[in-house]
Chain A
């Protein structure tokens, strides 16, 4: 397994502003992911954070709105840009571990409220 921390744990932001969420892992991992979880819903993958190259975004998510950095194998950031109330959600970082990076372990999440 892996121990994952996220900062901030929660924030309340004004529309039009941006928030950067940090994810730190206690060991080097190849695969890191960012998910969004809207209230009462399941998890939706935003993108795969690739070390040394641009993130791979899922359908419906674009780099201009959710820029991602992955400077090394233990750290990643997700920025939610030009926020609107529809961006209010929990944002989760996860890592893939195991022989085939099959199993994903999640951070505690960042609860974002946009006013």
Chain B
């Protein structure tokens, strides 16, 4: 069936470096994508989203890139800080469905 998956389950970076978290999706009908951050002991927190009519969207220190040709989504975090340490989930939805499909999650570890 259709699925959403992540390439790297764990990513370790040094403070101040840029982080890139990747996500592959297989549902070509997906038209809305979301990144969530989940810190230990907390619920997932919305970070940024993008629709399929865009290939790039920027927020504060974060950028999401969407490549529909290869069904690939990435989250870039600039100047990564220890507070960015968390598990990051991508999620995708297709038109007509109000329920997103969540990826497996990537654990980002930021070393001071």
Residues of A within 8 A of B (CB): 1, 4, 31, 33, 41-43, 45, 48, 92, 94, 96, 100-109, 111
Contact A108:B98 (CB < 8 A) given known A42-B89, A102-B32: no
- Tell me if B89 and A96 are in contact (CB < 8 A): no
CB distance from A23 to the nearest CB of B (A): 11
- CB-CB nearest in chain B for A102: B32
CB distance from A44 to the nearest CB of B (A): 8
Contact A42:B102 (CB < 8 A) given known A92-B43, A92-B44, A106-B43: yes
User: Within the assembled complex, what's the spacing in Å between the Cα atoms of A103 and B103?
Assistant: 16
Residues of B within 8 A of A (CB): 32, 34, 36, 41-46, 49, 89, 91, 93, 98-100, 102-105
Q: Inside 8 A of A94's CB, which chain B residues have their CB?
A: 43
7 residue pairs, one from A and one from B, having the closest CB atoms? A106-B43, A109-B43, A43-B102, A106-B44, A42-B102, A108-B43, A42-B104
- CB-CB nearest in chain B for A111: B41
Q: Inside 8 A of A41's CB, which chain B residues have their CB?
A: 104-105
Contact A45:B42 (CB < 8 A) given known A102-B93, A103-B34, A103-B49: no
User: Within the assembled complex, what's the spacing in Å between the Cα atoms of A41 and B34?
Assistant: 18
Q: Inside 8 A of B49's CB, which chain A residues have their CB?
A: 102-103
- CB-CB nearest in chain B for A40: B105
User: Within the assembled complex, what's the spacing in Å between the Cα atoms of A103 and B36?
Assistant: 11
Chain A CB count within 10 A is highest, among B44, B100, B105, for B44
CB distance from A64 to the nearest CB of B (A): 22
